[in-house]
């Protein structure tokens, strides 16, 4: 479902009334803010990831990059994707914006997440000629929430970076979140087979696909999606997240 046109139809005027001009993070009044809903002080607390960073998961290497052969955030992953990029670290104002979007129907946060992505140096090059693919929700979860926040983020990024996206072939066939009766190991095993590619013949295998999710936590969801794409014959799969946990 594409909710953006609906939100845009409501118009900025309504949004200003519904969400008065105060910082989403600290509540201070906004004056020429660097992001639509984040003040200068809170913006300075956002960690936009720069080099040196882990090329697999996108987490920054603090200090001496030479001493980081292994990244502690993804060293236990056997990545099925080649490269990973995260725009920011998932903390402070970014955590507030993503939670608002994910759990409070705060579609206004998309503008902030899109704008912060434009501050990430080199992201345009990373996305060049890629096809963005949001991590899908299971149909039960989609019905419950009403929208897929990763799909909305993907649309926002496509608009700003002028790249294409596809959300019609990767599906989540196993409802892993409802499997609380399984132990952790079983759930992990189920996650590995949770995604499937439909209409394989419709895929352009020569293209590079970039999977998009809101947050990189263990990377196992993104990895399961990447595995499904690779199994379908896609050669190049990378991943992009807004926040790295
Ligand atoms: Zn603030
Ligand atoms: Zn890493």
CB under 5 Å of ion ligand 1: residues? 23, 25-26, 28, 39, 42
- Which CATH topology does 46-244 take? Rossmann fold (3.40.50)
Q: 128 C-alpha vs ligand 1 centroid, how far in Å?
A: 33
Looking at residue 67, what is its pLDDT? 57
Q: 134 C-alpha vs ligand 1 centroid, how far in Å?
A: 29
Cα of first residue to Cα of last residue in the chain, in angstroms, is: 27
pLDDT averaged over consecutive 10-residue blocks of the chain (245 residues)? 49 51 95 96 97 95 68 92 98 97 96 98 98 97 96 98 96 81 72 90 93 96 96 97 96
The structural domains of the chain, with segments of one domain joined by +, span 46-244
Looking at residue 149, what is its pLDDT? 98
Q: 161 C-alpha vs ligand 2 centroid, how far in Å?
A: 25
168-196 burial string, b = 16+ CB within 10 Å, else e? ebbbbebebeeeeeeeeeebeeebeebbb
Q: Which ligand is nearest to the CA of 216?
A: 2
User: Which residues, in sequence order, are CB contacts of 205 under 8 Å at separation 6+?
Assistant: 232, 233, 234, 235
Looking at residue 236, what is its pLDDT? 98
Q: 190 C-alpha vs ligand 2 centroid, how far in Å?
A: 23
Q: Which ligand is nearest to the CA of 22?
A: 1
Looking at residue 2, what is its pLDDT? 53
User: Which residues, in sequence order, are CB contacts of 81 under 8 Å at separation 6+?
Assistant: 56, 211, 222, 223, 226, 237, 238, 239
Q: Which two tokens stand for residue 46?
A: 């956002």
A 10 A CB-CB count for 46 gives 22
Spatial CA neighbour of 110 closest among 44, 27, 19: 19
Looking at residue 64, what is its pLDDT? 59
Q: 73 C-alpha vs ligand 2 centroid, how far in Å?
A: 5
């Amino acid at each position: 479902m594409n909710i953006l046109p609906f939100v845009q139809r409501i118009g900025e005027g309504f949004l200003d009334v519904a969400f008065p001009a105060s910082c989403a993070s600290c509540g201070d009044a906004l004056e020429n803010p660097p992001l639509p809903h984040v003040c200068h002080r809170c913006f300075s607390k956002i960690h936009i990831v720069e080099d040196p960073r882990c090329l697999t998961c996108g987490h920054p290497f603090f200090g001496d990059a030479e001493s980081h052969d292994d990244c502690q955030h993804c060293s236990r992953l056997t990545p099925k994707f080649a490269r990973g990029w995260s725009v920011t670290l998932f903390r402070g104002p970014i955590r507030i914006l993503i939670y608002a979007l994910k759990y409070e129907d705060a579609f206004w946060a998309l503008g902030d997440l899109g704008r912060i992505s434009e501050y990430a140096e080199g992201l345009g090059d990373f996305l060049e000629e890629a096809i963005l693919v949001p991590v899908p929700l299971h149909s039960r979860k989609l019905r419950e929430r009403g929208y897929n926040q990763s799909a909305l983020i993907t649309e926002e990024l496509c608009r700003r970076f002028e790249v294409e996206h596809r959300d019609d072939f990767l599906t989540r066939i196993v409802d892993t979140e409802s499997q609380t009766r399984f132990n952790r190991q079983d759930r992990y095993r189920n996650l590995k087979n949770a995604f499937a590619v439909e209409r394989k013949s419709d895929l352009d295998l020569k293209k590079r696909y970039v999977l998009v999710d809101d947050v990189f936590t263990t990377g196992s969801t993104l990895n399961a999606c990447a595995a499904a794409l690779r199994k379908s014959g896609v050669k190049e799969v990378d991943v992009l997240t807004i926040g790295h946990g």
